[in-house]
Amino acid sequence: DADVTQTPRNRITKTGKRIMLECSQTKGHDRMYWYRQDPGLGLRLIYYSFDVKDINKGEISDGYSVSRQAQAKFSLSLESAIPNQTALYFCATSVERQNGELFFGEGSRLTVL
Amino acid sequence: AQSVSQHNHHVILSEAASLELGCNYSYGGTVNLFWYVQYPGQHLQLLLKYFSGDPLVKGIKGFEAEFIKSKFSFNLRKPSVQWSDTAEYFCAVSSYSGGGADGLTFGKGTHLIIQP
């Protein structure tokens, strides 16, 4: 079983719909992250969380929100999806006060029509 | 803000050719550096990492990278590539605040295609 699990793995939705991507981890890591990947743009940080009460905006947080329901769970929401949010989304974890190495989930591919 | 520059966006090589992918970063302080690989349809996996010590680091599958502080570079190399090395390669650097690493800043990636 994967240490970092994302659901759904694939989702097609329509403009204006609310979408939630979920991430859970069994690694016991404190820090969790949401990145989006677009062809030619690499990975860009959307939000990150150091613990349940600590949520931080990343480089491209507009149009997204997050919830850290527990140490092991970190959800990403698109309140009103738009086509340019079509992308591959990755959840990742890391250990506090260490070197920054990230451990990635398998990705959630979102298509907004 | 930190930035990471990967010089080659697309690279096509024949099997057994040597590989070098360039990576430069902008941060002038202490850095931790990473190369991740993404095989088609898969998530990112760590190839290798540099934290301190010997600037030549060895990773999985025969890859290595050299940290040259004076050049702000961390180039990835492999002496002889295989068809199975076809993948997207990302260079990344740690971002830091007072409480430790905030995550990684990634380059835009290099799409490597190995022809049989």
What does the pLDDT average to over B61-68? 96
**What is the full DSSP assignment across A25-55?**
ESS--SEEEEEEEETTTEEEEEEEEEETTEE
Q: What is the pLDDT of residues A11-54, one digit of tens each?
A: 999 999 999 999 999 999 999 999 999 988 899 999 999 889 99
Q: What is the pLDDT of residues A52-105, one digit of tens each?
A: 999 999 989 999 999 999 999 999 999 999 999 999 999 999 986 667 789 999
Dihedral sign (CA A15, A18, A24, A30): positive
Q: In the predicted model, is pLDDT for residue A1 greater than 80?
A: no
CB contact under 8 A, A97 and B100: yes
Best to test chain B binding among A7, A102, A103 (most B CBs inside 10 Å): A102
Burial code of A9-22, b = ≥16 C-beta within 10 A, e = fewer? Answer: eebebeeeeebebb
d(CA A107, CA B37): 14
pLDDT bucket at B52, cuts 50 / 70 / 90: confident
Give strand ranges (E) for chain B.
Answer: 4-6, 10-14, 19-21, 23-25, 33-38, 44-50, 56-58, 64-68, 73-78, 87-97, 100-106, 110-115
Please tell me the predicted confidence (pLDDT) of residue B96. Answer: 65
- The most confident of A73-82, B37-46, B101-110, by mean pLDDT: A73-82
Query: How far is B17 from chain A, CA to nearest CA, in Å?
Result: 25
CB contact under 8 A, B108 and A90: no
The nearest alpha carbon in chain A to B102 belongs to A100
Please tell me the predicted confidence (pLDDT) of residue B54. Answer: 93
pLDDT bucket at B59, cuts 50 / 70 / 90: very high
A53 at interface of B, judged by CB pairs closer than 8 A: no
**Hey, what are A10's tokens?**
């694939």
C-beta separation of B114 from B82 below 8 A: yes
Please tell me the predicted confidence (pLDDT) of residue B108. Answer: 94
d(CA A108, CA A81): 15
Please tell me the predicted confidence (pLDDT) of residue A2. Answer: 67
Of B46, B90, B103, the CB nearest to A42: B90
C-beta separation of B107 from B23 below 8 A: yes
How many CA within 13 A on the CB side of residue B73?
A: 13
The nearest alpha carbon in chain B to A36 belongs to B106
Report DSSP state, residue B84. Answer: G
What's the mean pLDDT when you consider all of chain B?
90
> Which one has a higher pLDDT value, B45 or B103?
B45
The nearest alpha carbon in chain B to A56 belongs to B102
CB neighbourhood size of B45 (10 A): 14
d(CA B27, CA B4): 9
**Touching B: A residues 57-76, CB under 8 Å:** 58
